[in-house]
Chain A
């Protein structure tokens, strides 16, 4: 069916012919008889990575194939979403090995973006937990691959943004948990120096990330709240929680029903942050035990919060620079704060090392924040890109909708090798997205 599609940033919005599948044979038939097609999961990437002339919706390819409750192994079709998996595994004492900040993504999307979570410095990205997976390539052949068999295909598919073919099935390891709760510690940092020091001091914690206030200047430049956590043990729960340690209390979801003017969201986050910073969180260090949902998915509590940025949409800008290039991070944050165009809050996280072909994470600081679309924004972001590049960093393809091609080719060290492998499996560039065309990855 012809549809108007946009991903989470609502930019760009394009006409696309959408096709869905429930059987592999139907998918194979479609793949061998079409071109200009790209897999689409739940559309939670922000930009144009899963948009194209023909989109292959994976959402109906959503059967769970097996769940080994002893060893903690899940085998699913790629269209299953993480929230559906959590509903099944948490009550049995298992958790996702890596999860992004929303649970409304598909497993195929988790692989294609090689997603990272708050535990990257300890557990790496999603690709590190895959036992094996099936990829349907342009010839119609399905290839089972992992880090040791068909490893070129495997590494080019992890973080490969759908360009090697359609991921149809993924088998991956889970993480053992004793409760559905997180023992969380919140720490106030008065500036960037302090939060960076705290990240280091708390790096033995499995989960960590910080909210940075982008508007502060001078001594409070980079004022933040660092949040770290561990899966709670049964002893750490209160009496009510102890009764059913693996079950969460039911919660209602709010939804933003229509596009709001973009100042609304900022006003809201300013209030929320200040409330945490000055109000309830008046102590420098705060401990509490909370359900896993608000810890991992604070934004999921408000469905369609992206509509809060208004009709024109927004760009989420996420980059990484290496640990010894802290000055790059400072320079960019300075520019953002001076310009005042970004969201009030940014997320800061420290990545650990990662060996990969084309995945985004590398050891260093990663910062993400939103920019409502406005005149002059892309020029401004081009300037930021240059600073990222000068500091040996790169941008996350999953959030990108506008990067210039030379930035991509100069910032991803294995870009050439990746493109060569893509050619091998994706003959005549049959799988192609607006992003791959823009970055000249499939030309």
Chain B
């Protein structure tokens, strides 16, 4: 049976993605910082969908461990989905380097580190799929979250370059650009219902996107056009807006 590796498996989005793939009879590898917390999820996937699920210790910011982590998986996954991320607090990150570094290291450096390992393996085998969950926040820097946004911008650029490089090796790389998603990350915010996706909708979109070999996926289609407009605003005007 084909296998999916989820990096950052305890996130609300990853829970939904795991269920979607498991319901389509994929085996699931759950990777995250707290393996004990992944056990109920592992049991749930096996029980509901009758597939094999395993849990693995993984920390995105422990770069040196990534090669060993990937090589040590019981089977090499056919699909790797990079879900982890850290929103952090913008104001705090402006004053406190540790917060800024955590945002950058989780969303960008950690993702590059682990996906480099995965990419080498897939390139050598000439097959595999890599999915990266980035964010529309990376499409233009705004005062309210530009540290997170710039890290996601870096990640988006990385995914696009990786896609370009691996195209000839037959490896598919998909960038996912969610707008607002109703998860723990955004629980403290009041989000506009029309523009907010449920994690299950993201999961379905990711599953279909992988099947159709999509390059860039916006989860609520509105976001593609919203971001198009936002990117068209001249910088002279943009800098005066309170976004």
Contact = CB atoms under 8 A, between A and B. Distances in A.
B8 to A, nearest CB: 13
A244 interface: no
B189 A1 contact: yes
A64 interface: yes
A65 B43 contact: yes
A88 B48 CA distance: 7
Interface string B183-198: 0100111110000000
Contacts of B10: 22-23
B43 A66 contact: yes
A1 B190 contact: yes
B40 A63 contact: yes
A100 B12 CA distance: 30
Contacts of B75: none
B6 interface: no
B187 A64 contact: no
Contacts of B43: 63-66
B47 A64 contact: yes
Contacts of A65: 40, 43-44, 47
Contacts of A67: 47
A1 B188 CA distance: 6
A416 interface: no
Interface string A58-93: 001011111100000000010000001000100000
A66 B47 contact: yes
Nearest to B40: A63
A46 B189 CA distance: 28
Contact of A23 (B37, B48, B187, B189): B37
Given A1-B189, A2-B190, A60-B12, A22 B184 contact: yes
Contacts of A20: 184, 187
The 6 tightest CB contacts between A and B, nearest first, are A63-B44, A63-B40, A64-B47, A64-B44, A23-B37, A65-B43
25 contacts: A1-B187, A1-B189, A1-B190, A1-B191, A2-B190, A20-B187, A22-B15, A22-B184, A25-B37, A26-B184, A60-B12, A62-B44, A63-B40, A63-B43, A64-B43, A64-B44, A64-B47, A64-B48, A65-B40, A65-B43, A65-B47, A66-B43, A66-B47, A84-B48, A88-B48
